[in-house]
Amino acid sequence: MPELPEVEAVVRTLGPLVQNRRIRFVHVLHPIATKPQAASHLARFAQGRRIRTVGRKGKYVLLHLDSGLLTMHFRLDGQLLWFSNAKEFLERANQGENAVHVDLALEFGNGVLGFADRRHFGRVHAWESGEECPGLAALGVDALSPDFTASRLRKLLAASKRPLKEFLLDQTRVAGIGNIYSCEALWHAQLDPRRRANRLKPREALRLHKAIVSVLGRVLECCLHPAPDFRDPAWWFQGLETILRAYGREGKPCHRCAAPIRRIAQGSRSTYCCARCQK
C-alpha cells in the first residue's frame, strides 16, 4: 500500500501536469471506483471545473477545484497514469492485448489523467468541501506537517493504551504512516512494537518522533529520485528495499546488533522487529 512518502511524491509530480487545467471530460470505465458515490454524480461534479492546486493529507491525494474537491485514495494497489491525449487514452485503456487498466480518467486539454486499481479497492470521490469527506475529517495530525511536533506526539501517546505499532497505524491519531514505515520507525527508535503507547518515557517519545520524521524524509527523497513516471504503467518506486532495516527482513541479521529480525502478528498485520535491541 502506498504510504505517506509515496503519496507525497505522487502529489509533487502531479501538480505541474494538472494545476490550473480545466477538466474537459470525465471518463468512468469502472463505476466501482467511485462507490458509494454514483459515477454520474462525480462526472457531473468535476466536468468543466478547473484544478487549482494538488495537495495531500495522510494517504489522500486532494485535487482542489475552483469549486469543490476531488479526493483519491490508492488503498492497496492504486496508481495514476498519464496519456498524452484523448486518442492515446481511448486506444490503450482496457483495449486489446497491450491494454492499460484504467478505472476512471480526467481529460484535460494537455492530456488525460487515469486512476487505476485492478483490485478495485482504490476510490475517487467528489465533495463540496473537505469537511464533507468523512475520511478526511477523521484524520489526525499529518506526520509530515509542521503540527507534528514531539510534544504533540507525546500527548497523543500518553492518551493511548494501544500497542505502539497499532497506535502508529491509527490514522485518527497520526495520519500517513502504514505498516512498512511504522516498523521502520520503531526499529530506528529501538522500541518494542508491543509496548503500550502510554508507557513511553518522555525521552523515548522524543526518540520515536525523531525516527518517524527521519524515516519518512529519507523515504520521500528515495521516492522522488527518480520521480514517479505516470506514463509507464509498470513503473513503481525504485530503491526502497535498500533503505529498509526491519520490514520484510524476517530471519536476516539486524543491522544494529546482528540478531535475526523477527516477524510477529499484530492484529491482521505482520510486524518486523529485532527482539534483542527493540525494548
Which position among 56, 57, 59, 249 bears the catalytic label? 59
C-alpha cell, 164: 505502539
Distances (CA, A) of 76 to 1, 3, 97, 231, 258: 4, 10, 25, 20, 32
Q: Rounded to whole angstroms, how far apart are CA atoms 270 and 111?
A: 40
- 264 bridge partner residues: 271
Q: Rounded to whole angstroms, how far apart are CA atoms 255 and 23?
A: 49
Query: Annotated catalytic, 279?
Result: no
C-alpha cell, 97: 492485448
CA nearest to 1, candidates 124, 123, 250, 180: 180
Residues in Cβ contact with 29 at an 8 Å cutoff, skipping those fewer than 6 apart: 93, 94, 102, 103, 104, 105
Query: Annotated catalytic, 59?
Result: yes
Query: Annotated catalytic, 3?
Result: yes
Residues in Cβ contact with 239 at an 8 Å cutoff, skipping those fewer than 6 apart: 222
Q: Rounded to whole angstroms, how far apart are CA atoms 254 and 247?
A: 11
Which position among 3, 107, 166, 204 bears the catalytic label? 3
Residues in Cβ contact with 90 at an 8 Å cutoff, skipping those fewer than 6 apart: none
Which position among 2, 5, 193, 228 bears the catalytic label? 2
Which position among 12, 152, 194, 269 bears the catalytic label? 269
Residues known to be catalytic:
2-3, 59, 269
